[in-house]
Amino acid sequence: MFVHKLPKVRAITFNKYGSPTEVLRAVTYQLPPLTPTTLHLKFLASPINPSDINQIEGVYPVKPNFRTLGEHEKTAVAGNEGVAQVIGVGDKVEDIKIGDWVVMGKSAFGTWRTHADATPDDVIRIPHEGIGIVRAATLTVNPCSAYRMLKDFVALKEGDFIIQNGANSGVGQAVIQIAKAWNINTINIIRDRQNFQELKDFLKSIGATYVISDKDLQAKNREFEWNKDIEGKGIALGLNCVCGKSVISMAKLLRHSSPLITYGAMSRQPLTIPASQLIFQDLRFFGYWMARWNKENPKAKRMEMLNDIIELIKQGKLRDVVCEENNWGGDDKEDVSDDVLTQRFLEIFKKATEEFRGAKQIIKMI
């Protein structure tokens, strides 16, 4: 067993549900010693995803693990996604070695911290050559959701068209790029904004076929620029990140009997659909949740998906999500107080909740 000096863990935690700015605080505790069957991890980076926020608020179905961390009782470490490097491996652990990069095997691990002890079941080793820290830290949620939604609901053929709202989201960017790699065309709806043209150009640069604002989509009697392209085949799949009334105009464009998948509710509004879209258009409405898919499917199928996605990354077909990388600190190089770490984290957190920010916030621990 490789024995290393046990580091102090600096973690962003909460001990009750509530508004993140009120309940989150940094704590420090000693990493528990390695056992023959455990691993020691050093986190490299973690994103702040919308579901992390919902989890802290207590409205996400996956509940965190409230437990004792050092002297802190009933405390949960926040964060569900991230990439870590293995820095300690128990004698009886097979197939994982020091230096490997791992991502989380399930939600609610608590990734907003500098170090953690884990079991091999908690993690998935990834072949990280050719993958940057940001893409590795954001691998298991957004690209996997995009991959599954494009694959599992309708048999898309090369040249087919799909439509999605929230197209500049992390999931939306992955949908555009994976679809492009599979020769599927995407019609992408984003909210109107001052820098609409700039965002449109960016989404086209990563492979979007068409980009339209929600306002233009809702304008009556519009001749859409893609009408000629979809003649005879229509739009085969809709992906809904946003909910609210704006989904009506997107759903109206889907071909008869096609699926509309709801995976997010960024507007925090209910999904509003007229009966005619069910009765006459015969649309099929589904929900998608990555956590459920992970639970219901064997690890081998998950590995097959991750390997496909990693291959796309290595081929340059799936870039880093648009992001801001934030050096949170917290490692041994800097001996700052928990209060300072809390304040630093909340500043990053604030950016993650700003509308039209256009970038995922990444917390870097190195």
Ligand X SMILES: NC(=O)c1ccc[n+]([C@@H]2O[C@H](COP(=O)([O-])OP(=O)(O)OC[C@H]3O[C@@H](n4cnc5c(N)ncnc54)[C@H](OP(=O)(O)O)[C@@H]3O)[C@@H](O)[C@H]2O)c1
Nearer to ligand X, 12 or 146 (CB): 146
**CA-closest candidate to residue 16, choices 60, 51, 64:** 64
- Integer angstrom CA distances of residue 253 from 159, 233, 249, 275: 17, 12, 7, 15
Instruction: Give the one residue of 13, 169, 188, 240 binding ligand X; rule: CB under 6 A.
Output: 169
Site for ligand X contains 153 (CB under 6 A): no
Residue 355 interacts with ligand X (CB under 6 A): yes or no: yes
CB nearer to ligand X: pick between 50 and 120: 50
Q: Is 141 one of the binding residues for ligand X (CB under 6 A)?
A: yes
What are residue 232's phi and psi, to 5 degrees? 85, -20
> How many Cβ atoms are within 10 Å of 245's Cβ, its own excluded?
14
CB of 170 to ligand X, least distance (A): 3
Residues 6+ positions from 301 with CB-CB distance below 8 Å = none
**Could you give the CA distance from residue 50 to residue 243 in angstroms, rounded to a whole number?**
15
Residue 171 CA to residue 6 CA, distance in Å, equals 37
Shortest Å, Cβ 109 to ligand X: 16
Which window, 79-87, 90-98, 287-295, 329-337, contacts ligand X (CB under 6 A)? 287-295
Cross-strand bridge partners of residue 261: 239, 286
Shortest spacing between CB 220 and ligand X, in angstroms: 21
CB-nearer residue toward ligand X: 126 or 261: 261
Residues with Cβ < 8 Å from 82, sequence gap 6 or more? 43, 44, 45, 46, 47, 103, 104, 109, 111, 112, 137
Question: What 3-state class would DSSP assign to 121?
Answer: helix
Structure tokens at 363: 């917390």
Q: Which of 263, 328, 345, 349 forms a contact with ligand X (CB under 6 A)?
A: 263
Kindly tell me which of 9 and 141 has the beta carbon lying closer to ligand X.
Answer: 141
# chain residues binding ligand X, by CB under 6 A: 26
Q: Does 264 bind ligand X (CB under 6 A)?
A: yes
**Under rule CB under 6 A, residue 323 binds ligand X:** no
- Region binding ligand X by CB under 6 A among candidate stretches 74-82, 99-107, 262-270, 325-333: 262-270
Specify the residue, 288 or 349, whose C-beta has the smaller distance to ligand X: 288
Minimum CB distance to ligand X, residue 4 (Å): 34
Q: Whole-angstrom Cα distance, residue 45 to residue 59?
A: 25
Interface with ligand X includes 289 (CB under 6 A)? Answer: yes
Q: Which is nearer to ligand X, 9 or 45 (CB)?
A: 45
Q: Using the rule CB under 6 A, is 101 a contact of ligand X?
A: no
238 interacts with ligand X by CB under 6 A? no
Query: What three-state secondary structure class fits 33?
Result: coil
The yes-or-no answer on residue 60 being catalytic is yes
29, 60, 210, 288: the active-site residue: 60
Stretch that binds ligand X, among 14-22, 26-34, 47-55, 303-311 (CB under 6 A): 47-55
Contact 309, 303 (CB under 8 A): no
Per the CB < 8 A criterion, the answer to whether 225 and 210 are in contact is yes
Tell me the C-alpha to C-alpha distance, in Å, between residue 116 and each of 180, 301, 313. Answer: 37, 27, 27
Classify burial at 179, counting beta carbons within 10 Å of its beta carbon; exposed 0-12, middle 13-18, buried 19 or more.
buried
Is residue 168 part of the contact set for ligand X (CB under 6 A)?
yes
Q: Minimum Å distance from CB 204 to ligand X?
A: 16
Query: Which of 2, 280, 286, 356 touches ligand X (CB under 6 A)?
Result: 356
Residues that bind ligand X (CB under 6 A): 49-51, 141-142, 145, 166, 168-171, 191, 241-242, 263-267, 288-290, 355-356, 358, 360
Q: Could you give the residue numbers annotated as active site?
A: 60
